[in-house]
Amino acid sequence: MVAVNGYAKINLLLDILGQREDGYHEIATVMQSLALADTLTLTKQESGITLTVDLPGLEADERNLAYRAAALLMRECGVRGGVHIRIDKRIPIAAGLAGGSADAAAALRGVNELYALGQSDAELCRLGAQIGSDVPFSLMGGTALATGRGEVLEHLPAAFDLPVVLAKPPVAVSTPWAYRSYDANPPTQHPDRAAFLRALHAGDIAACLRMAANVLEPITEAAHPVVGDYRARLRAAGAVCAMMSGSGPTVFGIFTDADDAARAAEMMRQETDADVHLTHTMGRSAVGRGI
Ligand code: ATP
């Protein structure tokens, strides 16, 4: 039996550079892993892939990204035998936190270990990119600049180790809708990626957090004002940075003080309808081990 964690991510910077021939968008994003994780427990079985998911409503069949990742690696390596995967889901779904990609990454690591396949990180990333653009980052974790459609990674120095409050409002945001709306109404202003990266390399976290920005935030926020409301609440509660992750709708607040973060999480639970998680940023070495 093998147990592997798949970690959530937030986007500290998210810029869209253009549309590609293949229908995807060319993006540049700085992603950061969080300690919030799903746990996958894998056991060998005679044949086939079966799933148990502790969340009603989340598909427990070949549509699940963990299933697809396991199937791809097992096919690629000619594995005889099957696997049962139990997913203990903690990452909110369809939230902008890449929970599905986290599970796909954990399934790749888990099957690789369970069947002693010896596949390298590079090989797992190559397969992961076929499942989803965020899977390579979910495999490697830490702090990274992702370009292309999000699958080309450059590791960055660990941004910081700080508490994070996640607040997911009870609204659904479709990622394709967010990108379509962006295309229909692209902004004139883009985040200053070069300055952000310079500050990160210099260890100037305050400057990084000041420059953190997500071009999809105004799009989602216009349709769902609750996003702006949560950002304002988290900032009023002491967050040094409060912004939306991915295409949303989850809002994250980064705090410099653990007690402030805990108080802010409690305030969000009491005063809003948000699904709230108190977590913290997570470095690459822990994510790479998968536990
Ligand atoms: P991203 O940040 O990459 O856009 P997300 O956080 O918005 O991702 P996910 O939670 O990864 O969204 O899932 C989006 C959809 O993928 C879900 O609505 C669900 O139907 C499907 N899905 C398939 N497998 C999984 C999984 N293991 N966990 C979560 N969702 C899954």
Q: How far is the CA of 100 from the centre of ligand 1 (A)?
A: 4
Task: Choose among 60, 63, 236, 65: nearest CA to 165.
Answer: 236
d(CA 262, CA 233): 14
Question: What's the pTM value of the predicted model, to 2 decimals?
Answer: 0.95
Active-site residue, selected from the candidate residues 88, 134, 192, 275: 134
Name the region of 55 (left: φ>0; alpha: ψ -120 to 50; beta: rest).
Answer: beta
Amino acid at 46: E
pLDDT of residue 170: 96
Amino acid at 274: A
Residue with the smallest CA separation from ligand 1 atom 30 is 100
Residue with the smallest CA separation from ligand 1 atom 29 is 100
pLDDT of residue 290: 57
Residue with the smallest CA separation from ligand 1 atom 28 is 100
Q: How many other CB atoms sit within 10 Å of the CB of residue 76?
A: 14
Mutate to test the pocket of ligand 1, among 41, 58, 68 (most ligand atoms within 8 A of CB): 58
- For the question of residue 15 being annotated catalytic, the response is no
pLDDT of residue 288: 63
Give the number of C-alpha atoms closer than 13 A to the C-alpha of residue 275, restricted to the C-beta side: 14
d(CA 241, CA 219): 19
Which ranges of the chain would DSSP assign to H, the alpha helix?
Answer: 65-76, 99-114, 121-131, 135-140, 175-184, 193-201, 205-211, 217-223, 226-236, 258-271, 284-289
Burial of 61 (0-12, 13-18, 19+ CB in 10 A): exposed
Domains of the chain: residue spans and CATH = 2-156 (3.30.230.10), 163-280 (3.30.70.890)
pLDDT of residue 188: 84
> Which residues in the chain show pLDDT less than 50?
none
Residue 223 CB contacts under 8 Å (≥ 6 apart), including other chains: 173, 181
